Protein backbone atom coordinates (compact mmCIF):
# COMPACT_ATOMS: atom_id res chain seq x y z
CA UNK A 1 0.00 0.00 0.00
CA UNK A 2 1.47 3.33 -1.03
CA UNK A 3 2.20 5.88 1.69
CA UNK A 4 0.62 9.32 1.41
CA UNK A 5 3.04 12.13 0.71
CA UNK A 6 3.50 14.73 3.42
CA UNK A 7 3.02 18.19 1.94
CA UNK A 8 5.27 21.17 2.57
CA UNK A 9 2.44 22.72 4.58
CA UNK A 10 2.21 19.65 6.82
CA UNK A 11 5.98 19.68 7.32
CA UNK A 12 5.85 23.35 8.28
CA UNK A 13 2.98 22.74 10.70
CA UNK A 14 4.83 19.84 12.34
CA UNK A 15 7.94 21.99 12.70
CA UNK A 16 5.97 24.84 14.32
CA UNK A 17 4.32 22.43 16.79
CA UNK A 18 7.68 20.89 17.68
CA UNK A 19 9.33 24.27 18.25
CA UNK A 20 6.39 25.42 20.37
CA UNK A 21 6.50 22.26 22.51
CA UNK A 22 10.25 22.54 23.11
CA UNK A 23 9.93 26.23 23.94
CA UNK A 24 7.13 25.56 26.41
CA UNK A 25 9.09 22.70 28.00
CA UNK A 26 12.15 24.94 28.47
CA UNK A 27 10.02 27.64 30.12
CA UNK A 28 8.49 25.19 32.56
CA UNK A 29 11.52 23.00 33.28
CA UNK A 30 12.61 24.95 36.41
CA UNK A 31 9.34 23.87 38.05
CA UNK A 32 9.85 20.11 37.86
CA UNK A 33 12.37 17.37 37.18
CA UNK A 34 11.85 14.28 34.99
CA UNK A 35 11.93 12.13 38.14
CA UNK A 36 8.74 13.76 39.41
CA UNK A 37 6.82 12.82 36.27
CA UNK A 38 7.25 9.12 37.11
CA UNK A 39 5.04 9.42 40.21
CA UNK A 40 1.95 8.08 38.52
CA UNK A 41 -0.22 5.04 38.02
CA UNK A 42 0.42 3.61 34.55
CA UNK A 43 -2.99 1.97 34.39
CA UNK A 44 -4.42 5.47 33.98
CA UNK A 45 -2.70 5.90 30.62
CA UNK A 46 -5.88 5.15 28.66
CA UNK A 47 -8.27 6.64 31.18
CA UNK A 48 -10.42 9.64 30.28
CA UNK A 49 -12.75 11.43 32.66
CA UNK A 50 -13.36 9.82 36.02
CA UNK A 51 -16.80 8.98 37.38
CA UNK A 52 -18.01 11.30 40.12
CA UNK A 53 -18.57 9.78 43.56
CA UNK A 54 -20.78 11.36 46.23
CA UNK A 55 -21.60 10.77 49.87
CA UNK A 56 -25.30 10.94 50.78
CA UNK A 57 -24.71 12.07 54.37
CA UNK A 58 -26.02 15.58 53.66
CA UNK A 59 -22.87 17.40 54.87
CA UNK A 60 -21.41 20.39 52.98
CA UNK A 61 -18.49 19.76 50.65
CA UNK A 62 -14.95 21.10 50.27
CA UNK A 63 -13.09 20.50 47.00
CA UNK A 64 -9.31 20.12 46.57
CA UNK A 65 -7.61 20.47 43.17
CA UNK A 66 -4.03 19.57 42.22
CA UNK A 67 -1.81 19.57 39.14
CA UNK A 68 1.83 18.49 38.77
CA UNK A 69 3.51 16.30 41.37
CA UNK A 70 3.68 16.65 44.36
CA UNK A 71 0.32 18.45 44.46
CA UNK A 72 -1.61 15.65 42.73
CA UNK A 73 -0.46 13.04 45.27
CA UNK A 74 -0.58 15.37 48.28
CA UNK A 75 -4.38 15.48 47.99
CA UNK A 76 -4.95 11.91 46.70
CA UNK A 77 -6.22 10.55 50.06
CA UNK A 78 -9.32 12.71 49.55
CA UNK A 79 -10.16 11.27 46.13
CA UNK A 80 -13.41 9.30 46.46
CA UNK A 81 -12.83 7.23 43.32
CA UNK A 82 -11.93 3.71 44.57
CA UNK A 83 -9.94 3.02 41.39
CA UNK A 84 -7.60 5.88 42.26
CA UNK A 85 -7.73 5.73 46.04
CA UNK A 86 -8.95 2.57 47.80
CA UNK A 87 -9.54 4.34 51.11
CA UNK A 88 -11.27 7.73 50.90
CA UNK A 89 -10.70 9.67 54.14
CA UNK A 90 -12.84 12.67 53.23
CA UNK A 91 -16.26 11.63 54.48
CA UNK A 92 -17.06 13.82 57.50
CA UNK A 93 -13.31 14.39 57.75
CA UNK A 94 -12.08 14.12 61.38
CA UNK A 95 -15.70 14.46 62.47
CA UNK A 96 -15.62 18.17 61.58
CA UNK A 97 -18.88 18.19 59.63
CA UNK A 98 -17.54 18.47 56.07
CA UNK A 99 -16.96 16.03 53.24
CA UNK A 100 -13.72 16.65 51.37
CA UNK A 101 -13.19 15.53 47.76
CA UNK A 102 -10.09 15.88 45.61
CA UNK A 103 -9.45 15.84 41.86
CA UNK A 104 -6.07 15.79 40.12
CA UNK A 105 -4.39 14.30 37.05
CA UNK A 106 -1.75 11.58 36.82
CA UNK A 107 1.36 11.67 34.67
CA UNK A 108 2.20 8.29 33.15
CA UNK A 109 4.93 7.97 30.54
CA UNK A 110 6.50 11.32 31.56
CA UNK A 111 3.75 13.31 29.89
CA UNK A 112 3.47 16.97 30.91
CA UNK A 113 -0.23 17.30 30.11
CA UNK A 114 -1.28 14.31 32.21
CA UNK A 115 -4.40 12.11 32.08
CA UNK A 116 -7.62 12.01 34.06
CA UNK A 117 -9.27 15.03 35.67
CA UNK A 118 -7.82 18.56 35.50
CA UNK A 119 -5.00 17.83 33.08
CA UNK A 120 -2.53 20.63 32.37
CA UNK A 121 -4.68 21.98 29.57
CA UNK A 122 -6.87 25.08 29.60
CA UNK A 123 -9.84 23.65 27.71
CA UNK A 124 -9.85 20.36 29.64
CA UNK A 125 -9.52 22.09 33.03
CA UNK A 126 -12.31 24.52 32.20
CA UNK A 127 -14.59 21.64 31.15
CA UNK A 128 -13.76 19.60 34.27
CA UNK A 129 -14.24 22.55 36.60
CA UNK A 130 -17.71 23.44 35.33
CA UNK A 131 -18.68 19.76 35.07
CA UNK A 132 -17.77 19.03 38.69
CA UNK A 133 -18.39 22.12 40.82
CA UNK A 134 -22.13 22.64 40.22
CA UNK A 135 -22.71 18.99 41.16
CA UNK A 136 -20.83 19.19 44.46
CA UNK A 137 -21.73 22.86 45.24
CA UNK A 138 -18.68 23.24 47.55
CA UNK A 139 -18.50 25.81 50.32
CA UNK A 140 -14.76 26.13 49.70
CA UNK A 141 -12.31 25.21 46.93
CA UNK A 142 -8.58 24.81 47.55
CA UNK A 143 -6.35 24.50 44.48
CA UNK A 144 -2.65 23.64 44.56
CA UNK A 145 0.06 24.04 41.95
CA UNK A 146 3.71 23.14 41.84
CA UNK A 147 6.32 25.79 42.62
CA UNK A 148 10.05 25.39 42.01
CA UNK A 149 12.55 22.92 43.51
CA UNK A 150 12.34 24.30 47.04
CA UNK A 151 10.36 24.02 50.28
CA UNK A 152 8.03 26.96 49.64
CA UNK A 153 4.41 27.02 50.74
CA UNK A 154 3.23 30.08 48.82
CA UNK A 155 -0.27 31.22 49.72
CA UNK A 156 -1.57 33.32 46.83
CA UNK A 157 -3.37 36.51 47.81
CA UNK A 158 -3.88 37.96 44.31
CA UNK A 159 -5.38 36.47 41.16
CA UNK A 160 -5.31 38.14 37.73
CA UNK A 161 -7.43 37.47 34.68
CA UNK A 162 -4.75 37.69 32.00
CA UNK A 163 -7.47 37.40 29.32
CA UNK A 164 -5.45 36.90 26.10
CA UNK A 165 -1.98 36.90 27.67
CA UNK A 166 -1.84 33.45 29.28
CA UNK A 167 1.18 31.23 28.71
CA UNK A 168 0.54 28.42 26.23
CA UNK A 169 -0.14 24.83 27.32
CA UNK A 170 0.66 21.60 25.45
CA UNK A 171 -2.28 21.10 23.12
CA UNK A 172 -3.92 23.25 20.46
CA UNK A 173 -5.58 25.67 21.07
CA UNK A 174 -2.72 26.51 23.41
CA UNK A 175 -4.45 29.33 25.30
CA UNK A 176 -7.88 29.72 26.92
CA UNK A 177 -10.80 30.42 24.65
CA UNK A 178 -12.04 33.94 25.25
CA UNK A 179 -15.45 32.81 26.45
CA UNK A 180 -13.68 31.09 29.40
CA UNK A 181 -12.01 34.31 30.61
CA UNK A 182 -14.71 36.91 30.01
CA UNK A 183 -15.30 37.57 33.73
CA UNK A 184 -13.33 40.64 34.90
CA UNK A 185 -10.97 40.96 31.93
CA UNK A 186 -7.45 42.08 32.92
CA UNK A 187 -8.63 42.70 36.47
CA UNK A 188 -6.82 42.10 39.75
CA UNK A 189 -8.87 39.96 42.15
CA UNK A 190 -8.10 40.18 45.87
CA UNK A 191 -8.73 36.80 47.45
CA UNK A 192 -10.74 36.54 50.65
CA UNK A 193 -9.93 33.69 53.02
CA UNK A 194 -8.17 33.28 56.42
CA UNK A 195 -4.68 33.38 54.89
CA UNK A 196 -2.97 35.00 57.88
CA UNK A 197 -4.33 32.40 60.30
CA UNK A 198 -3.30 29.60 57.96
CA UNK A 199 0.19 31.07 57.61
CA UNK A 200 0.64 31.48 61.37
CA UNK A 201 -0.32 27.87 62.06
CA UNK A 202 1.90 26.50 59.30
CA UNK A 203 4.89 28.54 60.47
CA UNK A 204 4.39 27.41 64.06
CA UNK A 205 3.79 23.73 63.37
CA UNK A 206 5.95 23.11 60.29
CA UNK A 207 9.11 25.23 60.56
CA UNK A 208 10.73 23.18 57.79
CA UNK A 209 8.43 24.91 55.29
CA UNK A 210 9.09 28.38 53.90
CA UNK A 211 5.57 29.76 54.33
CA UNK A 212 4.63 33.18 52.96
CA UNK A 213 1.74 35.11 51.44
CA UNK A 214 2.37 36.22 47.86
CA UNK A 215 0.88 39.60 46.94
CA UNK A 216 2.26 39.65 43.37
CA UNK A 217 -0.10 37.29 41.55
CA UNK A 218 -0.40 33.57 40.92
CA UNK A 219 1.51 33.30 37.63
CA UNK A 220 0.12 33.29 34.09
CA UNK A 221 -0.38 29.57 33.57
CA UNK A 222 -2.90 26.88 34.59
CA UNK A 223 -2.58 27.59 38.33
CA UNK A 224 -3.73 31.18 38.05
CA UNK A 225 -6.29 30.19 35.44
CA UNK A 226 -7.81 27.70 37.88
CA UNK A 227 -7.74 30.22 40.73
CA UNK A 228 -9.52 32.65 38.41
CA UNK A 229 -12.21 30.05 37.63
CA UNK A 230 -12.78 29.59 41.36
CA UNK A 231 -13.62 33.28 41.83
CA UNK A 232 -15.76 33.32 38.70
CA UNK A 233 -17.67 30.33 40.11
CA UNK A 234 -18.11 32.19 43.40
CA UNK A 235 -19.87 35.02 41.56
CA UNK A 236 -22.57 32.50 40.55
CA UNK A 237 -22.67 30.55 43.82
CA UNK A 238 -22.37 32.96 46.80
CA UNK A 239 -22.64 30.02 49.22
CA UNK A 240 -19.10 29.16 48.16
CA UNK A 241 -17.34 31.03 50.97
CA UNK A 242 -13.65 30.68 50.20
CA UNK A 243 -11.29 29.98 47.35
CA UNK A 244 -7.60 29.41 48.06
CA UNK A 245 -4.71 28.80 45.69
CA UNK A 246 -1.30 27.72 46.99
CA UNK A 247 1.97 26.98 45.21
CA UNK A 248 3.90 24.08 46.72
CA UNK A 249 7.66 23.52 46.45
CA UNK A 250 8.80 20.11 45.25
CA UNK A 251 11.60 19.46 47.75
CA UNK A 252 9.47 18.94 50.87
CA UNK A 253 8.62 15.38 51.88
CA UNK A 254 5.16 14.05 51.12
CA UNK A 255 4.50 13.54 54.85
CA UNK A 256 5.29 17.21 55.52
CA UNK A 257 3.04 18.35 52.66
CA UNK A 258 0.14 16.23 53.89
CA UNK A 259 0.56 17.72 57.37
CA UNK A 260 0.48 21.18 55.81
CA UNK A 261 -2.70 20.29 53.95
CA UNK A 262 -4.30 19.09 57.20
CA UNK A 263 -3.37 22.31 59.02
CA UNK A 264 -4.79 24.36 56.15
CA UNK A 265 -8.06 22.43 56.14
CA UNK A 266 -8.53 22.69 59.91
CA UNK A 267 -8.01 26.45 59.90
CA UNK A 268 -10.30 26.83 56.90
CA UNK A 269 -13.09 24.83 58.55
CA UNK A 270 -12.83 26.93 61.71
CA UNK A 271 -13.58 29.97 59.54
CA UNK A 272 -16.55 28.54 57.68
What confidence tens digit (pLDDT) does each residue in 153-196 have? 998 877 767 656 676 777 887 777 766 665 555 455 555 678 88
pLDDT given at position 48: 52
Round to whole Å and give the CA distance between 268 and 261.
10
**Residue-level pLDDT at 139:** 95
Percent of the chain at pLDDT exceeding 90: 35
pLDDT attached to residue 5 = 39
DSSP summary character for residue 24: H
The answer to whether the beta carbons of residues 166 and 220 sit under 8 Å apart is: yes
CA distances from 241 to 52, 71, 125, 250, 272 (A): 23, 23, 22, 29, 7
Q: Where are the alpha helices (DSSP H) in 95-221?
A: 122-136, 195-205
**15-35 per-residue burial string, b: 16 or more CB within 10 A, e: under 16:** eeeeeeeeebeeebeebbeee
Helix intervals (H) in 141-238: 195-205, 222-236
- What does the pLDDT read at residue 163? 58
Question: Is the CATH number 3.40.50.1370 carried by domain 10-271?
Answer: no
User: What is the average pLDDT value for the chain, to the nearest integer?
Assistant: 76
Give the residue ranges of DSSP H helices in the chain. 8-28, 71-74, 122-136, 195-205, 222-236, 254-271
Q: Specify the pTM.
A: 0.78
Residues 6 or more apart from 46 whose CB is under 8 A from it? Answer: 115
Using 50 as the pLDDT threshold, list the residues of the chain that sit under it: 1-47, 186
DSSP state of 52: P
* Segments making up each domain of the chain, as ranges: 10-271
Q: What pLDDT is recorded for position 14?
A: 36
CA 269 – CA 265 distance, rounded (Å): 6
Amino acid sequence: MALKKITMFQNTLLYICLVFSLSTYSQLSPYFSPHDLRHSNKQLGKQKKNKLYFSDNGLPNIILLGYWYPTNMMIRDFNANPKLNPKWIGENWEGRGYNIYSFSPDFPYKTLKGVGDFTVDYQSSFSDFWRIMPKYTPVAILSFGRAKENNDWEIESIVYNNFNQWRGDFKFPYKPKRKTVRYKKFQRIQTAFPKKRIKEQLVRKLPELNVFIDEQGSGDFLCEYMAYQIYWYQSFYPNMRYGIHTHIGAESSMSTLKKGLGITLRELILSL
